[in-house]
Structure 1
Amino acid sequence: MSPTSHASTEALLSQLQGWRESFDDSFAEPRHSDGWGDAWNVLGIRIAGEPFALSLDELAGLLTAQTPAPYPADAPALIGLIGHRGQVLPLYDLRAWLGRGLSSSVRWWAVLRSSPVALAVEDFDGQWRVPPEDRLQQADSHEGVGRWTLRCNGDLRPLIALVPLVERLTATLAVHKNGAAAAVTTA
């Protein structure tokens, strides 16, 4: 290799390393305002035909539903297992999780960012940036639904609070597991 081509290769590698570091650093920096102030990015979904919203900050992805791998467990609302980015995730029926019965047809899977969980949803309506004036705070939260209702594209959509929902699921599974373990030891 000639000294000129070696220098070109070194310069290219240095530039690539700089881009890599810049890309990685961008995730550690706070998001910059682009004139929307503190707008929330939300995903519009439908559950039993009713409009709801999920915070995009709480999601790692939205996938077209396929056939999940069956899993022999009697966990509440568990549909099966899916693969996402090299991980095996339990897939739960969001409609059943919210106490609204089982979904008749699932078209999308929402993968959570904070927990290794995926949620099956019936329909996806769109994605919106919701400015503060389109957020209505509720006095109390309903089962699985947070304290906010959002105005998105003319619809009022309750914002589903995913973190408390996952905490409730985890607690339910722990009780279920402990009950099963107690039944085995007494048998």
Structure 2
Amino acid sequence: MSPVPALADSAASLREEFDRSFSLAPASPAAGRVNLLTIRIGGDPYAIRLADIRGLHADRRILELPGPLPELLGVTNFRGQIVPVYQLAALLGKAAGAAPRWMVLAQASAPLALAFDAFESHICADAGQLIASADSAGQGRPREGVRTGAGVVPVLDIGALAAQIEARAAHASQGAQP
């Protein structure tokens, strides 16, 4: 008897399982664990909670536009929706270098993308790896950190950054009206 039918059945089974995996919702992290993206802004490491973003994108075309905030790089298109793109380094008070390659689409009340220099990795941290920051000044600045093999990496508060941008843009547009 030839092993070929057994291989064909095995391949078909693997193909079906692979295809089915795309129709299922992504698995949530185990209780007490949080998914994070680690990124670089300038030479500094940061982390972003996966729950705070809608997507990670590279090499998106940004149409430069003038705007009320100096951190505004311009706009880009996500599935037919025009989205403003802000430079994360400038929002954090860091020197802005070359045009950032990466951006995240923020989970916010209004469409918003945040651009940064480099994406490093995805980590699934447990509660013991998350620590409160001594400085909780807010405005998107890290209020917590995550312990990694390379040390403690600050976790950005994307919700606070989005609220800060919204408030500053509203204030700027009110000041521009006659």
Classify the TM-score, shorter chain: 0.7 to 0.9
Give the structure 2 partner of residue 179 of structure 1.
175
- Percent identical among aligned pairs is 28
Whether 1:61 and 2:35 are equivalent positions in the alignment is: no
In the alignment, which of 16, 30, 40 is matched to residue 34 of structure 2? 40
Whether 1:163 and 2:128 are equivalent positions in the alignment is: no
- Which residue identity lines up with residue 49 of structure 2 in the other structure? S
Looking at structure 1, the residues matched to 36 and 79 of structure 2 have their Cα atoms a distance apart, in angstroms, of 22
Alignment gaps of 5+ in structure 1: 1-18
What is the CA deviation profile of residues 114-172 of structure 1, one whole-angstrom value per residue up to 9, with x for unaligned ones?
24000111011100001011111123324522321101343311000011111111111
Q: Which has the larger radius of gyration?
A: 1
Aligned residue pairs, count: 155
* Residues 41 and 127 in structure 1, CA contact (< 8 A), matched pair in contact too: yes
In the alignment, which of 96, 118, 121 is matched to residue 123 of structure 1? 118
Structure 1 position 75, deviation (Å): 2.1
Structure 1 length-normalised TM: 0.74
Looking at structure 2, the residues matched to 32 and 111 of structure 1 have their Cα atoms a distance apart, in angstroms, of 20
Q: Detail structure 1 runs of 4+ shifted over 6 Å in the superposition.
A: none
Structure 2 length-normalised TM: 0.78
Looking at structure 2, the residues matched to 150 and 89 of structure 1 have their Cα atoms a distance apart, in angstroms, of 30
Which has more helix, going by share of residues? 1
Whether 1:141 and 2:100 are equivalent positions in the alignment is: no
SS at match of 1:159: strand
Looking at structure 1, the residues matched to 115 and 169 of structure 2 have their Cα atoms a distance apart, in angstroms, of 18
Alignment gaps of 5+ in structure 2: 1-19
Looking at structure 2, the residues matched to 32 and 177 of structure 1 have their Cα atoms a distance apart, in angstroms, of 40
